[in-house]
A = this chain, B = another copy of it.
Amino acid sequence: MLQITKPYLLFLAEEQDETNAKTAMGLRDWAPEDCVGQWGLPGCTIDLGLPTLRPAEAYDRGARSLLVGVAPVGGAIPDSWLPALLEALDAGLDIVSGMHTRLVDIPVLRERAEALGRNLHDVRHAGRSFPIATGRKRSGKRLLTVGTDCALGKKYTALAITRELQRRGIKADFRATGQTGVMISGGGVAIDAVVADFIAGAAETLSPDNDADHWDVIEGQGSLFHPAYAGVTLGLLHGSQPDAFVLCHDPTRKTLSRYPDFPLPSLRHAVEVYLTMGRVTNRAIRCVGIALNTSRCTEEERARALAAARDETGLPAFDPLKDGVGAAVDLLETI
């Protein structure tokens, strides 16, 4: 199993788009005690509010791994990053990456790491295989966060629900399905890197049989309405067999992020489609709330979006970061 040495220096490369920096932001928000500083290259406009440190300074302050905190589309590591990654190895840091391109497949990195005795952790490539899904109903209860699009709060919502359940004294575990979630929780499966035939099987493995009153809170991925990622979303939905789901949505988006020709579904349609597809492996699946990401809204827009979501779906609507997730967890307590 993966053994990452913390704490981290968060590497931001030349990134200018916050959507691409969600790995770094997720670590800062959900594992702040593990983040010593940030490091951007010339051109980078992302500021996480952490001290800006070069690798040697970060090492002196305790950092032991450089964590690649950005993920450009396609998941490749550009050559322009290599001097920085080599500087990190030279300074004493391991490197942790969730990119599709493996660090260990880049000869100059592999050779330097071997020469210096550093570790290259490719979190997205767990290096293990999974069984074909059986569809067998497992004991314990499960919630999955789903979305109208990518990158709008599914991980945050799942983490917030896990914490609220635990705060109420209810047994609960967060189950990570993406590289950031795995980096935060120290376990899980990068589900989009699994061979297609085994997506649902990997999801079954991720949330095994548990106590009848235990909740697995599973981080969702992608969207059933996304032209590139819906297969991952559906396999995860089927293998998770969720008793409940929360639909995550950004009310300021009219089209899918990066896919301007693809309109977002209505909330009502999205809930219906997730219910229809989820019933394949759990007839009792229900939606327990709409999680709105209102980070780009004024207070007035926020209030209007929440009211509209409640009206349209008849379900609790909330921004997990601003309102908490108590309304959804209240419903979970009735399941």
Contact = CB atoms under 8 A, between A and B. Distances in A.
Interface of A: 73-75, 100, 131-136, 191-197, 199-201, 224-236, 238-239, 259, 261-262, 273, 276-277, 280-281
A278 to B, nearest CB: 11
A135 B192 contact: no
Contacts of A134: 227-228
Given A74-B131, A135-B259, A193-B196, 13 more contacts: A74-B132, A100-B195, A135-B261, A192-B197, A196-B196, A196-B231, A196-B235, A197-B232, A228-B238, A230-B234, A234-B234, A273-B276, A273-B277
Contacts of A75: 197
Contacts of A230: 200, 234-235, 238, 277, 280
A231 B228 contact: no
Total identical chains: 2
A68 to B, nearest CB: 17
A195 B194 contact: yes
The CB with the most chain B CB atoms within 10 A, among A197, A199, A200, A231, is that of: A231
5 contacts: A74-B132, A75-B197, A192-B195, A197-B229, A230-B280
A37 B298 CA distance: 73
A239 B134 CA distance: 26
The CB with the most chain B CB atoms within 10 A, among A131, A201, A280, is that of: A280
Nearest to A131: B74
B133 A227 contact: yes
A16 to B, nearest CB: 20
A231 B262 contact: no
A103 to B, nearest CB: 17
A192 B197 CA distance: 5
Contact of A280 (B136, B199, B262): B262
A197 B201 contact: no
A195 B197 contact: no
Contact of A195 (B193, B225, B262): B193
Nearest to A282: B227
B227 A135 contact: yes
Contacts of A281: 227
A74 B198 CA distance: 10
A293 to B, nearest CB: 21
